[in-house]
Chain A
């Protein structure tokens, strides 16, 4: 068939065998599909939060709940300040991850090591902030099954708010934690010249996809819990 130029010749060649139709490595494609399924898990959590919030008459005011700051005196009212710092930490660590992936594409080992270290530091900083916030909320009497905060209109609230908050930020925090562990493993493998021997830094790209996904989820969690 030498005259099949009418339909879409490129596509026929693309799937005709002998080359990668997605022009991507197997592990990277599978990482994408894993992240897609993880997006549905987080989506289900956040949508159930929305459903329960919509089915309830009152809801606590997030600006009243998340208003403190480390080392600040008791009773300080600084809503959104601490969480915006957490958000920027995660954005910056996402940027250093992009720079690590970029350095990997150029086979620049030094650049990969430097940026991976910054990314790990950012991840640990975020986890520390979250640990402080959880500890602070717990000291105020908030936990799974315990909600000391009243609804915004002064009526009694159920424990739905704290249950969802600790479950969803906990699940996200667990993702950050595993991301930091993966990044540390990638850093060690880089230092051991594993990727130099393989001739490519594709593993850094895959770890990078996971790390960006963690940042992506935080964009939604941050907006939904702290702003809306």
Chain B
């Protein structure tokens, strides 16, 4: 390293400023996410809820970018190294899209062709508070009725 002493000091200052900046960004994004979460609790409009959820996902991706790029220093690595890591991760675009699509399609198919599955989504259950036994029993019952539906 051919850095002089003052060069090193300037570099240190820069690095510390970067750490401070990213810490603030991560904290602020988290607080915004939480505020959106609290706001969403009493929300009835499906469209608005979806928009808020979309915003939360964007904030989540931004936080992930800041952690990987600055805390893990990926941004300061050689471009070829960055590409060997980022390009394989592009597989997630298909992974997420295909599987969520598949899950959605499966629900629609079952609602169309499995009357029992659809009926289960309309029967309200009495809420059992507190007791351990009741909760366990209820879980067991649910498991039993869920089993035949999955055989299709």
A residues near B (Cβ < 8 Å) are 14, 21-24, 29, 32-33, 36, 39-40, 43-44, 47-48, 50-58, 63, 79-80, 84, 87-88, 91, 94-95, 97-99, 102, 106, 139-142, 145-148, 150, 153-159, 208-209, 212-213, 215-216, 219-220, 223, 226-228
Known: A56-B107, A212-B67. A88 touches B96 (CB 8 A): no
When C-beta atoms are compared, the residue in chain A nearest to B62 turns out to be A219
When C-beta atoms are compared, the residue in chain A nearest to B33 turns out to be A227
**B interface residues, tally (CB under 8 Å):** 67
Contact status A79-B27, CB under 8 Å: no
Known: A102-B19, A146-B136, A156-B120. A22 touches B99 (CB 8 A): no
Known: A43-B92, A219-B63. A228 touches B56 (CB 8 A): yes
B residues near A (Cβ < 8 Å) are 8, 12, 15-16, 19, 23, 26-27, 30, 33-34, 36-38, 40-41, 53, 56-57, 60, 63-64, 67-68, 71-72, 77-78, 80-81, 84-85, 88-89, 91-92, 95-96, 99-100, 102-104, 106-107, 110-111, 117-118, 120-125, 127-128, 132, 135-136, 138-139, 141-143, 145-146
A-B contact pairs, 17 of them (CB 8 A): A33-B85, A47-B100, A50-B96, A51-B100, A84-B30, A88-B30, A91-B30, A102-B16, A148-B135, A148-B136, A153-B124, A154-B124, A154-B125, A156-B141, A208-B72, A228-B56, A228-B57
